Amino acid sequence: MDNINKLKDMLLELSEIKSAEHIKSVESAVTTAWGEEVWDHQKLSRDCLQNMVDGCVESNIEIDKIKIETDNDQIKVFAPNEYSLEKLYYMGSTKSEKNVRQIGAHGEGIKKVFSDLARIGIFHPVLLSGEQALIVTVGKEVSGTELRPLIYNYFKINKLKGNYFILNTIDKKLKQAFAFGLRNFFYSKNPLIGEVLHSYNDITIYKSTDKNGYGFYKGLKRVDIKGIPVIISIDKAYAALEKKTKIDRDRQAFDTKLQSTFFSIFARSGFYYRDMVGNPAIKYVLQKSKHIWTKGHLLLSQIASHSYHMLKDDKTLKELFKDGYYAESRWTWSRDISYSDWFSTKTQNFIRSKTDKEKKNKKILPAYFTSFGVESALEKFIKNKKNAEKRIKNKKTKDLTPKEQKCINFLFDAAKSISPSFAKLFSGDGYDDPLIEVKFRTITCKDILGELKNTSDYNSKVIYLHKDLFSKSLGHIMAVFLHELSHSLGHNDGSREFSDSLTVLIQKCIDNNQSVKKYQKEWDKGYKLS
């Protein structure tokens, strides 16, 4: 009884309480040992406030009506809605699944708060609502165990408007956490949220009033965007994130993998088709992240990944980088070079030499910055190659003459006789639906031919032959013909695939030497050009 009187006196010391009458005390099955680990101050404040936030949402009350005071060795939280404090004793929740803004779903969070507060030495949380008061205390150890149950002490009090959560404490960290508390929830007057930058598909990005940024998923802060002052809010449910949130009763922050998923959803679904080009949100993110460009960031990487190369020529972004930056070269961030060509000695030597030269005067950025128009050695290589190819195609290259085309048809016939399976892969062999459509052009200048070989993709479907080949022996032109067809399969000189392909063809020629001799006679007699 003495203990009950002390609790009653505690209530009457509060300015809101004029009268208090003890109704009952109920021992809970929840103990101070509940849960694997003690929540930190931020989680304690967040889950305490979450009940109040959900109550406001359910009652259609603006969240900013919740008031938090942390003066006079006390934390006091007020919300204008009222509810039965009896609900706090029981497991389970009556919150509607239809309202995505209501976060709690299991009725466990507040019990965890009560338990963990006791574990860190903060006792007797007081809750008030309407004519009810509740003080949670800790009972004696259960016999034979170290478990101490929570005791729910209910009182009838004078009628109040709204509900209160009150803690007597000098814990500075907990006070700071409660002062920050409402910033964990998305609402229009959240002090973290600044000007809208872009909104589409229930995904909105804002300026952050803080030096850092934050990501909200369905109303709850889940992501810290360190170093980039933006707020990203995703209101719709996404399966990739729901897998985590459905089983995450502690509502932990997203790990690195889920942060990447969160940013990916923002970049992929938060913009209308082609709406990234010239978008102020993209420019703002890049502007404000300049100090971490060299280090990189998951948000920047995902924006680059889902820009579909549309931002490479965005003039508003190019102004940010000018000539002071250079990007690393990675094959995965280019769509203009084959995998085999990327690993060629020629490509790698160019990249190494160019990068070493540029990094003396420029800052090197992660490879994905090429999606924002930053030049890399690989992009320079590809650009040079395309320019060379363009020059070649416009100078001293010609379509086959009728006689030359007749020779090519003859070579396909010979190839079909030697290796039908190989010839069947290409157009011009008489088969329907070829796998590879190849085209032949002739060149008269050997220097140009050399330049072309140095710049072309090995999987190019245009094959250039020197005009003189058509006056050579069948063995001479056939060797070049089969060589270039093997390249059009995407194999480069020196690769295992290329070597194996030529080895098989040589074997076929030897095994079919009688057929080769027959075609040699026909070539010399009716096809070889003088």
Q: What is the CATH number of the domain that holds 61?
A: 3.30.565
Whether residue 211 is found in the same domain as residue 156: no
User: Which residue in 211, 396, 199, 185 sits closest to 291, CA to CA?
Assistant: 211
Please check whether residue 112 lies inside any domain of the structure: yes
Domain end (from 289, 321, 353): 321
CA dihedral angle for residue 169, residue 173, residue 178, residue 179, rounded to 10 degrees: 110
Please check whether residue 167 lies inside any domain of the structure: yes
CA dihedral angle for residue 276, residue 280, residue 281, residue 284, rounded to 10 degrees: 130
Whether residue 215 is found in the same domain as residue 241: yes
The pair phi, psi for residue 499, each rounded to 5°, is -60, -45
d(CA 114, CA 138): 9
Please check whether residue 371 lies inside any domain of the structure: no
Whether residue 35 is found in the same domain as residue 155: yes
Whether residue 480 is found in the same domain as residue 446: yes
What DSSP character marks residue 495?
-
Domain end (from 122, 154, 184): 184
d(CA 187, CA 63): 7
Strand pairing class (462-466; 439-443): parallel
E strands within 62-129? 67-69, 74-79, 126-129
pLDDT of 250 reads 47
pLDDT of 252 reads 66
Domain of 459 in residue numbering reads as 397-527
Q: How many domains does the chain fold into?
A: 3
User: Which residue in 229, 11, 34, 217 sits closest to 113, CA to CA?
Assistant: 34
Whether residue 169 is found in the same domain as residue 41: yes
Listing DSSP states for 157-200 in one string gives ES--SSEEEEEE---HHHHHHHHHGGGGB--TT-TTEEEEEEEE
Domain end (from 184, 215, 242): 184
d(CA 171, CA 120): 10
pLDDT of 506 reads 82
CA angle 394, 489, 415 (to 5 degrees): 95
Whether residue 467 is found in the same domain as residue 518: yes
d(CA 130, CA 398): 92
Please check whether residue 388 lies inside any domain of the structure: no
Whether residue 162 is found in the same domain as residue 264: no
The DSSP H or E segment spanning 44 is helix 41-58
Does residue 68 contact residue 181 with C-beta atoms inside 8 Å? yes
Whether residue 34 is found in the same domain as residue 156: yes
Whether residue 171 is found in the same domain as residue 263: no
Whether residue 227 is found in the same domain as residue 161: no
Query: Which residue ranges of the chain lie beneath pLDDT 50?
Result: 95-96, 98-106, 250, 455, 457-459
Listing DSSP states for 340-388 in one string gives HHHTSHHHHHHHHHHHHHHTTTSEEE-GGGGGGT--BHHHHHHHHHHHH
Please check whether residue 437 lies inside any domain of the structure: yes
Please check whether residue 332 lies inside any domain of the structure: no
Give strand pairing partners of 436: 426
CA angle 163, 167, 170 (to 5 degrees): 150
Please check whether residue 391 lies inside any domain of the structure: no
Please check whether residue 343 lies inside any domain of the structure: no
Whether residue 168 is found in the same domain as residue 295: no
Sheet holding 213-217, edge to edge: 193-200, 203-208, 230-234, 213-217, 220-225
pLDDT of 105 reads 45
pTM (two decimals) = 0.69
d(CA 119, CA 133): 23
Whether residue 19 is found in the same domain as residue 165: yes
pLDDT of 427 reads 63
pLDDT of 425 reads 81
d(CA 52, CA 182): 10
d(CA 207, CA 258): 22
What Å distances lie between residue 140 and 7, 25, 28, 31, 359, CA to CA? 17, 14, 12, 10, 69
